[in-house]
Amino acid sequence: MARVGYIGLGLMGAPMARNLMGAGHDLVVHNRSRAIVEQLASEGATPATSPREVAEQSDFVFTNLPDSPDVELVVLGADGVLAGAHAGMIYIDNSTIKPETARRIAAELEKVGAAGLDAPVSGGDIGAKAGTLSIMVGGPQEAYDRALPLFEVLGKTITRVGDSGAGQIAKAANQTVVAGTMVAMCEALVLAQKAGVDPARVVQAISRGAAQCWALDNKPAKLFKRDLAPGFKAYMQAKDLKIVVDTGRTYEVPLPLTAVTHQIFEAMIGMGNGDLDNSAVITVLEALASVQVGQAE
């Protein structure tokens, strides 16, 4: 069993840390707000007072944080993971951040004989609890091989996509398609509703052909019941889309469709709906069309 550290015990991080502990690993934890640290300590984890302290006591150090600046601060800042890193330590970032940031952090860790893996996840808090996440990994093959037993505790579909940053590129690609299908589906439903056609029948008519997608399979029933609870919160979707568009700029890849989906999700946040599910982006299209989708008949 390995000595495992986990920093960032939010909606995703806490259940992932618990699963690692449940698999028999010695868990050291750190978080900005302390309540969850004390909770996990009561379940058997060792609390630490800084990311540096977590790193000093661990063979594998995970982070799960909101955005790129948070990860930079926790790894490269004072008393950060880098300050406590040691030869052979593997740092694994489950956050969704910019690929460039992931690459820079991996390069810094390499200088002290440690390794960095970017390993963003998909599957939401349900997947985090159930240990069924998709994990997209970038970084050295050898570090990946050593970390694989831990990934297998956390997820079901685990893919080493390529070198450092490749996991974040895959996550960006994922979010492009997730948001694109979601907004396209919402436009289709709003058009049907406003044209006087039952959107539920439209879903029935189109969902088994070339329009088939996860969004269409999973979201309409909830939307028709006005169940807009997350799931995956819209403000996180918007944050991820900003990363996609910024990454496009970095690599000189114009992304006209993703730019529009990003703006539509920003509009959703502007409407005060950022804490709803990403499928609730339908509220933006409904506002534009002055209509509300529901059972028409």
192-211 positions binding its own copies, by CB under 8 A: 192, 194-198, 201-202, 204-206, 208-211
Residues in contact with its own copies, total (CB under 8 A)? 75
Query: CB under 8 A: which stretch of 3-11, 44-52, 189-197, 269-277 binds its own copies?
Result: 189-197
Rounded distance between C-alpha atoms, residue 261 and residue 268, angstroms: 11
Rounded distance between C-alpha atoms, residue 17 and residue 92, angstroms: 13
Binds its own copies (CB under 8 A): choice among 258, 268, 274, 283: 258
Binders of its own copies among 115-144, rule CB under 8 A? 122-123, 134, 136, 138
Does the footprint of its own copies cover residue 150 (CB under 8 A)?
A: no
Contacts of 50 (CB under 8 A, 6+ apart): 30, 79, 80, 84
Residue 15 or 84: which CB sits closer to its own copies? 15
Binders of its own copies among 217-256, rule CB under 8 A? 232, 244, 247-248, 250-256
**Tally of residues, the chain:** 297
Instruction: Reply yes or no on whether 171 is catalytic.
Output: yes
Does the footprint of its own copies cover residue 216 (CB under 8 A)?
A: yes
Buried residues in 91-111 as b, exposed as e (16+ CB within 10 A): bbbbbbbbbebbbbbbebbee
Contacts of 215 (CB under 8 A, 6+ apart): 178, 181, 182, 185, 279
Count the neighbouring beta carbons within 10 Å of the beta carbon of residue 141: 10
Binders of its own copies among 152-181, rule CB under 8 A? 157, 159-162, 165-166, 169-170, 172-174, 176-181
Residue 14 or 244: which CB sits closer to its own copies? 244
Least distance between its own copies and beta carbon 292 (Å):
13
Rounded distance between C-alpha atoms, residue 172 and residue 241, angstroms: 8
Show which residues are catalytic: 171
